Amino acid sequence: MIVNEKIALDLGLKKSEYKEICNLLNRVPNITELALFSAMWNEHCSYKSSKIHLKKLPTNGDKVIQGPGENAGVIDIGDNDAIVFKIESHNHPSFIEPYQGAATGVGGIMRDVFTMGARPIANLNSIHFGSTQHKKTKNLLRGVVHGIGGYGNCMGIPTIAGQTCFDDSYNGNILVNAMTLGLVNKNKIFYSKAAGLNKPVIYVGSKTGRDGIHGASMASAKFDDKIEEKKPTVQVGDPFTEKLLLEACLELMKDDSIISIQDMGAAGLTSSSIEMASKGNLGMELNLNKVPCRELNMTPYEIMLSESQERMLIILESGKEDKAKKIFDKWNLDFAVIGKTTNTNKIEIYFYNNKVVDIPIKFLSDKAPEYDRKWKKTKLPAKNKFGKEIYKNLKIIDVLKKILASPNICSKEWIWQQYDHTVMGDTIQKPGGDAGVVRVHGTNKAIAASIDSSADYCFAHPMTGGKQIVCESWRNMISVGAKPIAITNCLNFGNPEKEKNMGEFVECVQGIGEACKYLDYPIVSGNVSFYNETKDKGIKPTPSIGGVGLIKDYKKMISMGLSIVDNLVLIIGKTEGHIDQSIFAREILNQKKGPPPEINLFNEKNNGLTVLKLIDEGFVKSAHDISTGGLMVAISKMCINGNKGINIKKPDSLINYFEYFFGEDQGRYLIEIEKKDFKKVKSILEKNSVYFNEIGIIIEKNIILKNELDVTIDELSKKNKTWLIDFMSK
């Protein structure tokens, strides 16, 4: 095939990029070489539009062992234990083929984790779908959920937490973000940096097929009416093979055989080989005739770009080949020596004794474009002026029932019941709470993890929205009694070539960075997903934040369910009654304009650390952060989870009742304490200058607000739990 500009454009390269490739090589590349450039220079692999901004994020901390730049981030949790974790997107594949797209997203993120020597201990996910009225939403939701469950359940890894949202901005482009945590001895972490000359390059796992070719490029492309034609770019997963691969890799990792290891994810053999060589400042020579293929007559182009799943690339110490092969033979996996490291600083690829690729490594990695794209700043919207008349015909009970049954507030039990969240026997906080929690097996420690996004806030004002998501993650850790340690992020945005979209990205990243720095909550890994749009209609800016925290003694873990009648419930943090961008404004007032609630980072940190102190000293019996839906939704969920009621005190505030109970002011918590501890708790709160109020007393079965509300927990629970079940059964 004669390579020209048109072919380059078809592969997702820009005219200027193709010209630069020709200039670098001082010749026209052949089709295989051009394919390597198209893979390594796309957004998904090179971060060419985001790199300049990501560099500004805080990535260091006293618990950080490995930050961004590896397969996953690593944090120290003491006693030589470390947690490896990361979040990745699989948005485009999941929209095209929901089951396989979601399944291979889960499989891919688990490989990122066990590539580093960690055994996966928990999965999470953040999934976003279009309007519940859209014709595709129900089938997409069903396919994605079955794909996530099908892969994770077969692997025997619990899915402990998640998030599901609906919004019409995702009608043409759903989001599927998968997160995995793994446990590793901090002295047995494996990295992807190649080292040593003439070291054998080993291919292990499944055979290479034609599935997933151009998967990485497709992940950086816009959708149009021909979306169905892209199905061949979606990878096909086999969780049973991945389980074998996991065990084989961990067995090989028990000694000093492995120099470096990398999973074949986006761009397959291309990215894994080039990234390993680039990090080690080495060259690599590959013989594609030795690559195990499951289809006949595969070309070098197809072999290098295939994204067939369940594959790894390993650089071994010389002389360890036979020992390693025996392990992979035992697990019934392919094992092949396909090349060696060299001192040429080139990627050199042979096929039937012909050299089909001869490119300096740095041209594919260091010379990848880096764009400082133009961007447009988002102005803070003016506050809405809600007159008293808009509340005149509203009743709190009616509002509460409607919000509890709304798509973005209702219970997602229908979803998480399809995931195995108890396998491995260490899950101590199931899905549905502020964060999932798993014990560190054989110790008193536990790891908390949550995943959050807030597209409405980010769309209204990206800077504030970016801060809010980090703070929400922080509060979720605090609410279960965990010290927040670090986060991973998946940044889902539209077309970065549009100034508005790029501005949303830049300002969200700025907000995330500011909050992380202030809270000492560093970012250790992540992913950027651009071009989430169809027919030029992009998604709302949707950064997902995966938070991880440590509970030193799992017996001190806190759940959200109210526990004991006659205990007091306190609200921590001040209530101003911010209605703009709230669920109340959207669902009840049909108002989508206005600014998100303000973020006070001092209060977030101070309130959170003080609540954590109260938990650590044993005063808190249950807790829940106040977020989407406001105070009344938060207290209702605590009641539903604990099957207890509450007699709510009339607020002393002059704020309108609806604004007080449904406003989404930030930095707030609800905590349950015993009456006898009130003076001690009050003293600690006052000493730390934390604003608080007594909100009510726990009773049996009903939520009561004098002259305004008297409803059974059973009635609210039914409203909250049945909407999604009914939706999916129709």
DSSP secondary structure of 126-157: EEEE--TTSTTHHHHHHHHHHHHHHHHHHHT-
Please report the beta strands in 352-439, taking only residues with DSSP state E, as ranges in sequence order: 354-360, 427-429, 436-439
What is the C-alpha separation between 457 and 594, in angstroms, rounded?
10
pLDDT tier, 226 (very low <50, low <70, confident <90, very high otherwise): low
44 is catalytic: yes
* Mean pLDDT across 441-445: 95
Helical ranges in 280-412 per DSSP H: 300-305, 321-330, 361-364, 396-404
User: Between the CA of residue 212 and those of 95, 124, 674, what are the distances in Å?
Assistant: 14, 24, 57
Q: Report the pLDDT averaged over residues 23-40.
A: 96
Q: How far apart are the C-alpha atoms of 46 and 240, rounded to whole Å? A: 31
User: For residues 367 and 17, what is the distance between their CA atoms, to the nearest angstrom?
Assistant: 11
- Please say whether the beta carbons of 718 and 409 come within 8 A: no
Contact assessment for residue 313 and residue 303, using Cβ atoms and an 8 Å cutoff: no
pLDDT at 308 over 90: yes
| Percentage above 90 pLDDT, the chain | 92
Name the strand (E) or helix (H) holding 207.
none
What's the whole-model pTM score? 0.95
Q: What is the Cα–Cα distance from 477 to 551, expressed in whole angstroms?
A: 9
Angular region, 446: left φ>0, alpha ψ -120 to 50, beta rest: beta
Order of strands across the sheet that contains 200-205: 258-263, 311-316, 200-205, 334-342, 283-287, 346-351, 354-360
547 by DSSP, 3-state: which? strand
**What value does the mean pLDDT of the chain take?**
95
pLDDT band at 655 (very low <50, low <70, confident <90, very high): confident
Whether residue 694 has pLDDT greater than 70: yes
Q: How many Cβ atoms from other residues are within 10 Å of residue 676's Cβ? A: 9
Percent helix, strand, coil in the chain (nearest 5)?
40, 25, 40
Would you state the structure tokens that stand for residue 48, as one six-digit string? Answer: 């060419």
Strands lying side by side in the sheet with 427-429: 427-429, 436-439, 446-452, 542-551, 483-492, 523-529
pLDDT of residue 237: 87
pLDDT 10s digits, 593-634: 999 999 999 999 999 999 999 999 999 999 999 999 999 999
Percent of the chain with pLDDT over 70: 97
β-bridge mates for residue 569, sequence order: 672, 696
Mean pLDDT over residues 64-75, rounded? 97
Q: Say what the pLDDT of residue 612 is.
A: 98
> What pLDDT score was predicted for residue 218?
47
What are the structure tokens assigned to 429, written together? 């906080």
**CA separation for the pair 1, 34 (Å, rounded):** 11
pLDDT of residue 290: 98
Question: Beta 159-166 vs 119-129: how paired, if at all?
Answer: parallel
Average confidence (pLDDT) over 290-300: 96
Task: Identify the band that residue 225 occupies on the pLDDT scale cut at 50, 70 and 90.
Answer: low
Known active-site residue 90: yes
Summarised one tens digit per residue, pLDDT across range 541-586 is: 999 999 999 999 999 999 999 999 999 999 999 999 999 999 999 9
Residue 591 is classified by DSSP as -
Cβ–Cβ < 8 Å for 381, 594: yes
Per-residue pLDDT, 536: 86
User: Is the pLDDT assigned to residue 372 strictly greater than 50?
Assistant: yes
State yes or no: pLDDT of 137 exceeds 70: yes
And the tokens for 636?
A: 């209702």
Question: To the nearest 10°, the Cα dihedral for 394, 396, 402, 403?
Answer: 120
Q: List phi, psi (to 5°) of 377.
A: -75, 140
Catalytic residue among 90, 92, 128, 421: 90
Tokens 């079940």, residue?
A: 725
Catalytic residue among 44, 53, 92, 421: 44
pLDDT tens sequence across 630-646: 999 999 999 999 999 99
pLDDT tens, position by position, 230-279: 556 688 889 999 999 999 999 999 999 999 999 998 889 999 999 999 99
- From the centroid of its chain, how far is CA 574? 30
CA distances from 547 to 475, 624, 637 (A): 10, 16, 22
Helical H segments across 225-340, by residue range: 239-252, 268-279, 300-305, 321-330
Alpha-carbon Rg of the chain, whole angstroms? 26
* pLDDT for residue 41: 96
pLDDT at 134: 96
Is residue 215 very low, low, confident or very high in pLDDT (cuts 50, 70, 90)?
A: low
